[in-house]
Amino acid sequence: MRTLAIDVREALRDHPTGKARWTKCFVKELISRKLPLLLIGQSTLPDSWVQSHVQSLTLPAGMRWHLAAANALLQKKQDILSFSPTSFIVPAITGGRVPTIPLVHDLIAFRGEPHQRRAQIIEHLTLRRALSTAQHICAISEATKNDLLNRYRFLKADSISVIYAGPYAESAPLNTPDDQTILSVGTLCPRKNQLRLIQAFALLPEVLRTQTRLIIAGGRGWGDRDIIHLARITPGVEWKGYVTDKEYEDLFARATVFAYPSLYEGFGLPVLDALQRGIPVLTSRRGSLPEVAGEAAVFIDPEDPDSIAQGLTKLLRDAPLRERLRTEGPLQAQSFSWKRTVDLFLSGIQKFL
């Protein structure tokens, strides 16, 4: 059996966000399967990852990391299968000389919505080459798989395995809502749509606005100046910045509504975390979000602050609706787990190991 080599740089960052959290949880579950692994990063592995079937390779940070990683994989190419969960640079460098499985989270870089310029350039330069030379491809959702098939006509449906994700915590109790907190979690950027969410909060009927607060948790991203400014001048809105795992759990433990009016998502991990805890969710029908939320959410037009405000008003005023979603959310969340994700992954790549 080949050793599975995995880029774990993002998973080991001090402040992991979406893709990094996905990789961290995935690797944790994969380690439990006792497969031979080579984890390639730029920092020391957590103690719980250090096991007899796990090798590690620590390389210098920066662009040198990609070149060194590609070289290391080329030297071991007969004995490994490389999995790239967060970046297409190394697969593009090795160009098919190393058997590789890239994971595609989304095609945000190729859409019309605003996106970080650097990330856009890198993906435009590397993704097609990574896909065209891959042994197999993994996608995080059916929406992302469909986006890939529509954009890259040379791909075949059976060459892409959809492997999804699981909630950040393996299990979590139903939360105890404080009847006053609308929570939104995500890196500040135009795509996460916090600006329109704040505008929608300001449009709430006065009686609701004075009884409710909007808490936004998320580190600074890009194009976020207007978001921060509006958060600071809008009464009842608090921006907390990046939160630790404990702070994340504390916020979810008391939220009355979870608002995630994103313009596009490859998956939407915070939505799954909210569903798992029985928190009524407001979100959009963009990208993967209908897959994740099913019918256990209130859907709005993310480009219309009035629509977002109407959805929030409905959730805050309709107690029976909240109770229904509180029951349906955890049932919907049960469809997703890291065990299922790793099972789907291994099933898709088995013939290449």
This prediction has a pTM of 0.94
Q: Which residue has the higher pLDDT, 160 or 110?
A: 160
Element (H, E) at 325: helix 319-333
Domains, the chain, with CATH or none: 3-166+337-352 (3.40.50.2000), 181-333 (3.40.50.2000)
Q: Six-digit token pair at 229?
A: 């400014």
Counted residue by residue, the chain has a size of 353
Element (H, E) at 338: helix 338-349
pLDDT of residue 320: 97
Q: In this predicted model, what pLDDT tens digit does every residue of 197-220 receive, in sequence order?
A: 999 999 999 999 999 999 999 999
pLDDT of residue 113: 67
Q: In this predicted model, what pLDDT tens digit does every residue of 232-259 receive, in sequence order?
A: 999 999 999 999 999 999 999 999 999 9
pLDDT of residue 116: 74
Beta-carbon contacts of residue 14 (< 8 Å; ≥ 6 apart): none
The number of angstroms, rounded, from the C-alpha of 318 to the middle of its chain's C-alpha atoms is: 30
Alpha-carbon gap, residue 104 to 134, rounded angstroms = 12
CB-based contact 189:221 (threshold 8 Å)? yes
Output the DSSP codes for 182-206: EEEES-BSGGGTHHHHHHHHHTS-H
Give yes or no for residue 174 having a pLDDT over 90: yes
Q: In this predicted model, what pLDDT tens digit does every residue of 12-53 receive, in sequence order?
A: 988 888 899 999 999 999 999 999 999 999 999 999 999 999
Q: In this predicted model, what pLDDT tens digit does every residue of 67-94 receive, in sequence order?
A: 999 999 999 888 999 999 999 999 999 9
